[in-house]
Amino acid sequence: MKAHKVVKTARAMANLSDKWWALRARRLEMEKEVADVKKEENQAKAALITSLVSTGTTAIGGKNVRVSHIVKVKPIATDWSKVWQWAVDNDAPDLFQRRLGEKAVKERWEDDTNIPGIEEFLVDDISYSKS
């Protein structure tokens, strides 16, 4: 990836802002297309699973792919207070993903609530309005 090229004139920055806007619009259109394809893919997968299960078929092959019906075991928390307590009692923080809920933190900051161990981290960004 190319390093950022610093532009110094107002005209060059204006051109760069238009380039950024066009690239952003292109990316958003591509993301919409990807989301549409993903939705169609998920529908086909669901129909395939339903068909395999309802017919008792364990595997099927087409010209390009062979698929097998499998059952995965995934965890789901049914009582968070018990999970939290067990994790504390057993020194098991690895049960959880380490990321902050940005919205939840920002809401508490807006209420002047200080949360120990969390600091502000400034990130340069831009705001925009369509011309």
DSSP string, 37-68: HHHHHHHHHHHHHHHHHHHT--EEE-SS-EEE
Residue 43 has which token pair? Answer: 């529908």
Cβ atoms of residues 59 and 67 within 8 Å: yes
Q: Give the bridge partners for 60, in sequence order.
A: 67
For range 29-43, the mean pLDDT: 97
pTM, full prediction: 0.70
- List the chain domain ranges: 10-110
Mean pLDDT (the chain) is: 93
Q: What is the pLDDT of residues 37-86, one digit of tens each?
A: 999 999 999 999 999 999 999 999 889 999 999 999 999 999 999 999 99
Question: Within a 10 A sphere around the Cβ of 48, how many other Cβ atoms?
Answer: 13
pLDDT at residue 1, as a whole number: 65
Q: Give the bridge partners for 59, in sequence order.
A: 68
Q: What is the pLDDT of residues 93-107, one digit of tens each?
A: 999 998 999 999 999
